Amino acid sequence: MMTSTIGAAFSTEQLFRWNVLFAQESDKDLEFDEGLEEDDLNQSKPPSRKPLLWIVLLLLAMGVAYWSLKPDAFMPQSTSIDTTDITSNQDSHQSQAAITPPTFQENQEVSLIDTLGMSLLMGDPANTTSGPMVKSGEPLTILDGNYQPTGWVYQVRTQTGKTGWISAEKLKKQS
């Protein structure tokens, strides 16, 4: 009995159908291993970061160059008072207070103190260039005055029209 029920349940026709299904070749579309290499080659790569690196390096180099040209550009201005400025201002006030008043005025008539007969006028108040020669006792007219570290120097004009600078020690008021 047992065989008859098995035969009834599984007919011989149905068994051939299953064998046919197992004996068939598989479809080529179901092959999953063939296209993997091609897919790997065609896949897009992630974007390269080299251009970004070059841009960052360029910005860094430009920043260093700017800072080297202007090193105080990124530092805040100090509000502290520099002591050297204070002392130099005090020195200038003291030196201005120590300046003696001028001995002569503009358009005042003076004469050259007797020295060795002739004296050389200076071309400028700092005595860097030479000027014309003047005889001692010759009348001069004061045109301008300038204070130098050695004392007052005056621009004078002779009666003949020559001009030059001479120190106050070599001049006397004309009486």
Going from the N-terminus, what domains does the chain have, and what CATH number goes with each?
109-173 (2.30.30.40)
Q: In a structure prediction context, what are the per-residue pLDDT tens digits for the chain, which is 175 residues long? A: 555 555 555 555 555 555 555 556 665 665 555 555 655 556 666 677 788 999 999 999 999 998 888 777 666 555 555 555 555 555 555 555 577 887 888 888 888 886 677 777 887 777 788 888 888 888 889 988 888 888 888 889 988 888 988 888 888 887 6
Are 142 and 154 within 8 A, CB to CB?
Answer: yes
What is the DSSP code (8-state) at residue 1? Answer: -
pLDDT value at position 10? 55
Helix residue spans in 11-152 (DSSP H): 12-23, 36-42, 50-69, 83-98
Answer yes or no: pTM beyond 0.75.
no
Phi/psi of residue 133, each to 5°? -90, 145
Strand order from edge to edge, sheet including 151-158: 130-135, 118-122, 163-167, 151-158, 139-148, 109-112, 171-173
pLDDT value at position 55? 94
Q: 159: Cβ–Cβ under 8 A, 6 or more apart, which residues?
A: 138, 139
